[in-house]
């Protein structure tokens, strides 16, 4: 970790400070919200308590969150419909980021699909269900299922479709998800890329060098599964650091990401107002050298023992 020294994150800096997506007028707090958990179990169908889902979104906005990550394949359609119900008409400063490149099978499966027709249909589904005339930022989810390693396929064809939709003013900006540095470089020959959304957290550190490279380019890195995803992080080292700081493990995991690099934007997911409030309090937490050393070791591949804890 390049910044494993004493870093002072100002307590006065709201929600982790702010970040402007490159070449855009979109400035967001570094602590946002990921909406995937708002759909029913398995990200399928309506949640058990739709009013509770609406309450989570409204609480996030009331707390100052201005970056929400979603997709129309969450539910499918359900998550975006809940966002619309809770927040439309949207606050002017709110940036809703969505993703395309998959669809759901009737058996609840996640089907990778970057065909021209699916990308166009997905953009229109997002527009309709979010009730928007244009989408602020669309990530091309390039490959694979959640949690699997990115592939190496060329993105030229699917990206050309998004560029076309951008020209039609249906999309304002483009990002990538589940991609490698090579795929980013190729994509940048076609269009500006403002963010990359890949799997990364305390225990999953494959993108360490990529994050530093993106930081140099001013491109946002948005780790998905920042808390470990469907099975949140479990680590004795994380627990012990949290206990020593009087914080919760999830707050420490998020604070570690905030300190990892200034281009990291957080989108932790939760279906609970209680967890949302807890997570948003991660921003005032300074992790000093001792804590960082213990936390960094969790993701060190050679540290087998630590990895087994996760
Ligand atoms: N690009 C992609 O391919 C991709 C893939 C996956 C996800 N995403 C995006 O990334 C966002 C975040 O991912 P995620 O929500 O799946 O995973 P996550 O943020 O790593 O973790 C969410 C899980 O942690 C639990 N949790 C949250 N706060 C907690 C707390 N304070 N204490 C204990 N448990 C807590 C949640 O349960 P509760 O509901 O009970 O709080 C939920 O089970 C998603 O919303 C989605 O927008 C993108």
| Active site annotation includes 74 | yes
- Pick from 36, 44, 111 the residue to mutate for probing ligand 1's pocket: most ligand atoms within 8 Å of its CB: 36
Q: Find out whether the beta carbon of 269 lies less than 6 Å from any atom of ligand 1.
A: yes
What is the sign of the dihedral through the CA atoms of 72, 75, 77 and 82? negative
Q: Which of 287, 222, 303, 278 is nearest to 30 (CA)?
A: 222
Q: Find out whether the beta carbon of 198 lies less than 6 Å from any atom of ligand 1.
A: no
Q: What is the pLDDT of residue 133?
A: 98
Q: Which two tokens stand for residue 148?
A: 């699997």
> Are 54 and 86 within 8 A, CB to CB?
yes
Q: What is the pLDDT of residue 50?
A: 97
pLDDT tens readout for residues 157-182: 999 999 999 999 999 999 999 999 99
Catalytic residue among 33, 74, 200, 221: 74
Q: What is the pLDDT of residue 148?
A: 56
Residues with pLDDT less than 70, the chain: 1-13, 144-151, 301-310
- Pick from 203, 224, 242, 280 the residue to mutate for probing ligand 1's pocket: most ligand atoms within 8 Å of its CB: 224
- For the chain, how are helix, strand and coil distributed in percent, rounded to 5? 40, 15, 45
For residue 151, count other CB atoms closer than 10 A to its CB.
15
CA dist 151 and 114 (Å) reads 13
pLDDT tens readout for residues 221-240: 999 999 999 999 999 999 99
pTM: 0.93
């Amino acid at each position: 970790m390049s910044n494993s020294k004493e870093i002072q994150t100002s307590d006065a800096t709201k929600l982790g400070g702010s970040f402007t997506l490159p070449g855009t007028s979109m400035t967001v707090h570094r602590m946002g919200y990921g909406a995937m958990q708002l759909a029913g179990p398995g990200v399928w169908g309506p949640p058990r308590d739709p009013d509770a889902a609406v309450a989570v979104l409204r609480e996030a906005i009331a707390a100052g969150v201005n970056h929400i990550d979603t997709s129309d394949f969450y539910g499918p359609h359900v998550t975006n419909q809940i966002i619309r119900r809770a927040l439309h008409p949207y606050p002017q400063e709110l940036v809703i980021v969505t993703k395309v490149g998959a669809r759901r099978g009737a058996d609840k499966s996640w089907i990778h699909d970057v065909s021209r027709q699916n990308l166009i249909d997905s953009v229109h589904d997002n527009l309709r269900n979010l009730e928007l005339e244009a989408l602020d930022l669309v990530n091309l989810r390039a490959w694979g299922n959640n949690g699997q390693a990115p592939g190496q396929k060329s993105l030229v064809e699917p990206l050309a479709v998004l560029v076309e939709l951008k020209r039609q003013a249906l999309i304002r900006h483009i990002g990538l998800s589940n991609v490698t540095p090579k795929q980013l470089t190729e994509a940048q020959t076609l269009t500006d890329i403002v963010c990359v959304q890949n799997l990364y957290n305390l225990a999953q550190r494959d993108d360490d060098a990529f994050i530093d490279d993106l930081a140099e380019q001013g491109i946002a890195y948005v780790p998905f599964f920042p808390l470990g995803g469907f099975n949140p992080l479990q680590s004795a080292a994380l627990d012990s650091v949290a206990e020593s700081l009087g914080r919760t493990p999830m707050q420490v995991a998020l604070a570690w990401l905030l300190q990892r690099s200034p281009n990291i934007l957080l989108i932790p997911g939760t279906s609970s107002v209680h967890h949302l409030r807890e997570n948003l309090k991660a921003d005032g937490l300074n992790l000093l050298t001792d804590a960082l050393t213990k936390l960094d070791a969790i993701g060190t591949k050679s540290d087998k023992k630590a990895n087994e804890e996760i």
